[in-house]
Chains A and B, each alone.
Chain A
Amino acid sequence: MKKMILLVIASLFILGCNSKEEKQDIKDKPITDLSIYNLPEKWTNQDGKDIELKELRGKVLVMVMIYTSCKSACPRLVADMRNIESKIPKEYKDKVQLVLVSIDPTVDTPKRLKDFSIENKMTGNQWVFLRSNEENTREFAAVLAVNYKKISPIDFSHSNIISVFNAEGELAFQQEGLGVSYDKTVSKIKEEAAKVE
């Protein structure tokens, strides 16, 4: 009887869930509660290199979610990103990272992202293109409050949102919609970049 109880208890432990707490490694300063650097997932950039979001910590991030085969809204979002980038004063250029995250990881391979960056003249160090698996992408969209859905084999509908994050990875500003003025976005980027050492 004792043995059976032990066996049952032991099996409960096996079935129980392992705590994931050991995942968090704190580099120097602790990551704040609202920081996107709480997300542990790995991403791949346009050069095929694996990166964690945390590696972007310390810079102001300007982020948008797109897919490269998109014909309607995305080219305009991409143009917005390029325009925003061109408005960033020289002294802040190296304090800002512009990040384009793919919502279509099956089609948007690192090579495809690389080609896209070349076609769209977004090849400088300030540009990062990221992709991950479907699950991480969904989670990241949830953090950005970006909604998206695959509506046909090649098309997605998605929110047109450009987000600005401060050096700690906290959301500082969001620009919503197409063809809206990006003056506010640019001034927020400048404001946050000025705070970066």
Chain B
Amino acid sequence: MEAQFIKRFHYCLILLFWVSISFSQVSEDMVTIGAGSYVPLYGTADKKPVYIKSFLLDVYPVTNQEYLEFLKTNSAYRKSKIKRLFANTTYLYEWSGDLSFGNLNSNAPVTNVSWFAAKEYCECQGKRLPTLDEWEYVAMADEKRKDARTREEFNKYILSWYEKNKTYNNSVGKTFKNYWGVYDMHGLVWEWTFDFNSIFLSGESRKDKDTDKDLFCGSGSVNATDLMNYAAFMRYAFRGSIKANYTTKNLGFRCAKNISN
């Protein structure tokens, strides 16, 4: 009788252990980003705020090791197999083979990945790429505030990182943890967003052109708002300059997910 009870108890423990593993996996990988609204630098016709619905976001960018796991089951995305339509010739440039990231740090963000590859990776995990508006919404938080965009030190931090080289081979999770519990939005690599190709910095959109002009030809004094705009402008300009099959060594990604009701 007692033996059977102990046996049952053991099964329960095992089950509990297993359940807790699967649950902790979710909670460690992703955090909930609360709903809110903000006015992005670009995008709305009349500078009205955009509304962001609550969603889940990866705490860290996807690492080389994680990407390697993905390639094991998705051979079409290996370095030697990927179609040129989906990634240019510098795809996984520093990887030494189809299933080896060479001298790169296993815990560093995977870079030299195209938008198509990033999108496929996320879809394979039952996730998606964050939208540009979602990404920027999370990226405006510092350690304590949801929106630190007007804080001078925050902008200086971001801009000083833009001038640094080779942060792409650092491990994830070494920069600051922001208000939402997300790491590495600034200070490690730039990241793909689902609708990166929604930027107009030149060409057809007159309004955006005027904004650029204001940025460059504005008055001589640099205040916090200018810095904030400049930092965001750099990201938007970068996104506006890339194509979906482009890959560069300082561009990685992380995944997002809708909150199911």
A147 and B200 contacting across the interface, CB-CB below 8 Å: yes
Taking CB atoms, residues of chain B closer than 8 Å to A149 are 43, 195, 198-200
Q: Contacts A147-B198, A148-B198, A158-B204 given; indicate if A142 touches B244 (C-beta within 8 A).
A: yes
CB of B17 closer than 8 Å to a CB of A: yes
B73 and A19 contacting across the interface, CB-CB below 8 Å: yes
CB of B230 closer than 8 Å to a CB of A: no
0/1 interface trace, chain A 66-110, chain B, CB 8 Å (1 if under): 000000010000000000000000000000000000000000000
The bracket for how many chain A residues form the interface is 35 or more
Stretch among A32-40, A44-52, A118-126, A184-192 lining the B interface: A32-40
Taking CB atoms, residues of chain A closer than 8 Å to B17 are 4
A38 and B199 contacting across the interface, CB-CB below 8 Å: no
Within 8 Å by CB of A146, from B21, B84, B124, B197, lies: B197
Taking CB atoms, residues of chain A closer than 8 Å to B70 are 17
Taking CB atoms, residues of chain B closer than 8 Å to A18 are 73, 124
| Minimum CB distance partner of A141 in chain B | B197
How many residue pairs between the two chains, A and B, have CB atoms under 8 Å in the bound complex?
87
Taking CB atoms, residues of chain B closer than 8 Å to A143 are 85, 244
B14 and A157 contacting across the interface, CB-CB below 8 Å: no
A55 to B81, CA, bound (A): 25
Taking CB atoms, residues of chain B closer than 8 Å to A38 are 83, 85-86
Query: In the complex, what's the smallest C-beta–C-beta distance from B130 to chain A, in angstroms?
Result: 13
Query: In the complex, what's the smallest C-beta–C-beta distance from B53 to chain A, in angstroms?
Result: 15
Taking CB atoms, residues of chain B closer than 8 Å to A4 are 14, 17-18
CB of A29 closer than 8 Å to a CB of B: no
| Minimum CB distance partner of B13 in chain A | A4
0/1 interface trace, chain B 167-205, chain A, CB 8 Å (1 if under): 000000000000000000000000000110111100111
| Minimum CB distance partner of B239 in chain A | A147
Within 8 Å by CB of A21, from B18, B76, B199, B205, lies: B76
CB of A183 closer than 8 Å to a CB of B: no
A157 and B197 contacting across the interface, CB-CB below 8 Å: no
A3 to B197, CA, bound (A): 49
A11 and B44 contacting across the interface, CB-CB below 8 Å: no
A7 and B43 contacting across the interface, CB-CB below 8 Å: no
Within 8 Å by CB of A160, from B74, B115, B120, B204, lies: B204
Q: Contacts A38-B85, A151-B44 given; indicate if A17 touches B124 (C-beta within 8 A).
A: yes
A141 to B18, CA, bound (A): 43
A11 to B195, CA, bound (A): 33
A99 to B84, CA, bound (A): 23
CB of B75 closer than 8 Å to a CB of A: yes
B73 and A17 contacting across the interface, CB-CB below 8 Å: yes
Taking CB atoms, residues of chain B closer than 8 Å to A196 are none
A147 and B197 contacting across the interface, CB-CB below 8 Å: yes
Enumerate 14 A-B pairs (CB-CB under 8 Å) in ascending A order: A16-B73, A17-B73, A19-B73, A19-B75, A21-B74, A21-B76, A35-B85, A38-B86, A138-B194, A143-B244, A147-B199, A148-B197, A152-B45, A157-B200
